[in-house]
Amino acid sequence: MDSYSFFGIQLALTDFQRDRVRSRLHELIAENANAQKFFEKRIFWKRLCAIINEALPAFELGYWDLVRGDKAEEEFEAWSSEIEGALASEAEELGGAADEMNRFSADRRYVLVTLMFLVGEGSNADLTLGERCDIPEDDWFKRETFTRLIGTPPLLNFANVRADAVYLLPGSDEDGLSEFDLATEAYAHLKPLV
């Protein structure tokens, strides 16, 4: 049985409607939905990470994790299923009013950007992740750390990447999350960036 490593980053972007970061990310993702060759993936991730790093001052909260071994596949699946379950993609889930099921406030200031990777444990992609994530705990939630981490995906050898995903939550250009939404238990892992 193969063993893997999971690497994930989640960032909360504020004022996404004013500066078009969310729509730029969405356009890039849509354009590259069928990019499956290794060189296409590397180009896609280079472009995506460049947009995120350019907008890093607008990200207020973040979280990242590196999980190796038996729990890696489970972690990838957990992140994916939680995000996909929370995506507002149907007309009934969207709207201007708080519905207390999908949203606790109509103030839609935030969008979550999530990047996830599952790589072969011990591969050169895994070694790259280990080196890039070797960060003192006191620095885990500094903007400089997230700049470093966001710069990691283009460095990966995609021949060793079993799965990769990017999510924008909520699922439309018009929708967003409120400060109240992000204060719920579902997003308690997100920490202020300093």
CB-based contact 152:115 (threshold 8 Å):
no
Which pLDDT score is estimated for 177? 85
Average pLDDT across each block of 10 residues of the chain; the chain has 194 residues. List them in order: 92 75 90 85 95 90 96 96 74 50 60 96 97 97 96 96 92 75 91 95
Which pLDDT score is estimated for 90? 54
Which pLDDT score is estimated for 16? 56
pTM, two decimal places: 0.87
Which pLDDT score is estimated for 100? 46
Q: Which amino acid is at 93?
A: E
CB-based contact 190:63 (threshold 8 Å):
yes
* 3-state SS class at 107: coil
